[in-house]
Amino acid sequence: MRLSERYRRGLFITVFLAAPVLLYLVYVIAPYVQAFYISMTDWRGVSASPTFVGLDNFRRLLSDGVFWKAVTHNGLLLVLLPLITIVIALFFAFLLNVGGAKGTEGIKGSGFYRVVFFFPQVLAVAVVAVLFQQVFRPDGSGMLNGPLMALGLEPVGFLSNPNIAFWSVLGVMVWQAVGFYVVLFSAGLASIPRDLFEAAQIDGAGRVSLFFRVTLPLLWDTVQVAWVYLGILALDVFAIVWVMTDQHGGPDYSTTVMAAEIYRNAFQYFRFGYASALGVVMFFFTVGFAFLSLRLSRRERIEY
């Protein structure tokens, strides 16, 4: 009887898992396998039988200056976007939840501020890109350059100056991402018993000690997850760069990223084999980053 119940339970689980597993194999794993194969061909997207070229596409990547610019920009985003976003989000989340007069509660109106911080998340990425195109306009109608020109100063080429354009893109990405992580860290802080903060204050802990000795250790798992998500966002960024910047990654490829070069090579130059090789490289970058981040930031879990 016991074996029969176990068999029926296993059959029930198998039947319900079969459909999602099949869909995952067809729509996720199969395209990955196909991309690996296409990356070793000289396919232009129109011929029925791609020409197999082995590792030639990957050898071309090593001497492609635009590819290395894209890798450099993704690498900078990989370090700076998570770091800046998490620092700002932790600061505001701490203020909203523990920054009140008593030191164990949020500031007045913290619920309203959470809504304000989260607002950029409800905007589509393309809308954000078009919005900041207008903010960064190099003439008097630009939100930033307008006041500068009214004061008699020269306008700043936020998106037209190769030395500034990348940092403008980074600023927009941080602006859009911070709100979500303020809410995420606020949820983590809300789950920490207030008794811990009160006990730390009784022991003489100030605001800085309260943050580094109580808040951050208890939020470490949440910070770890946020770092991985932001790192994947930094590697997978496309829409902001493609819509907002001049020449879709310009000027002079000063803001281009790997995702933009994949799209450019596939749908403008019709080099689908080369674009797939870029995609394979980005796949390994993403998997490697996630593995290393989870591995290096792992620490003993604190129970409370």
User: What's the chain's average pLDDT?
Assistant: 84
Asked if residue 303 belongs to a domain, the reply is no
Higher pLDDT pick, 54 / 204: 54
Cα separation, 188 vs 218, whole angstroms: 8
Asked if residue 46 belongs to a domain, the reply is no
Asked if residue 221 belongs to a domain, the reply is yes
Structural domain that includes position 241: 56-296
Stretch 56-66: mean pLDDT: 92
57 closest CA partner among 47, 44, 46, 70: 44
- Cis status, amide bond into 251, omega within 30 of 0: yes
Asked if residue 31 belongs to a domain, the reply is no
Asked if residue 71 belongs to a domain, the reply is yes
Q: How many domains does the chain have?
A: 1
CATH for 132: 1.10.3720.10
The model's pLDDT over 68-126, given as tens digits with 9 standing for 90+, comes to 999 999 999 999 999 999 999 998 888 887 765 555 566 677 777 778 888 888 888 88
The answer to whether residue 65 scores a pLDDT higher than 80 is yes
The answer to whether residue 1 scores a pLDDT higher than 60 is no
The answer to whether residue 195 scores a pLDDT higher than 80 is no
Asked if residue 137 belongs to a domain, the reply is yes
Asked if residue 251 belongs to a domain, the reply is yes
Stretch 209-234: mean pLDDT: 83
Q: What is the pTM of this model?
A: 0.84
Alpha carbon distances (Å) from 111 to 66, 97, 146, 174, 276 = 45, 10, 33, 21, 46
pLDDT value of residue 47: 72
The total of other beta-carbon atoms located within 10 Å of residue 184's CB is: 18
How many angstroms separate the first and last alpha carbons of the chain? 43
Asked if residue 227 belongs to a domain, the reply is yes
The model's pLDDT over 135-186, given as tens digits with 9 standing for 90+, comes to 998 887 788 888 888 888 888 888 988 999 999 999 999 999 998 999 888 8
Cα separation, 235 vs 282, whole angstroms: 7
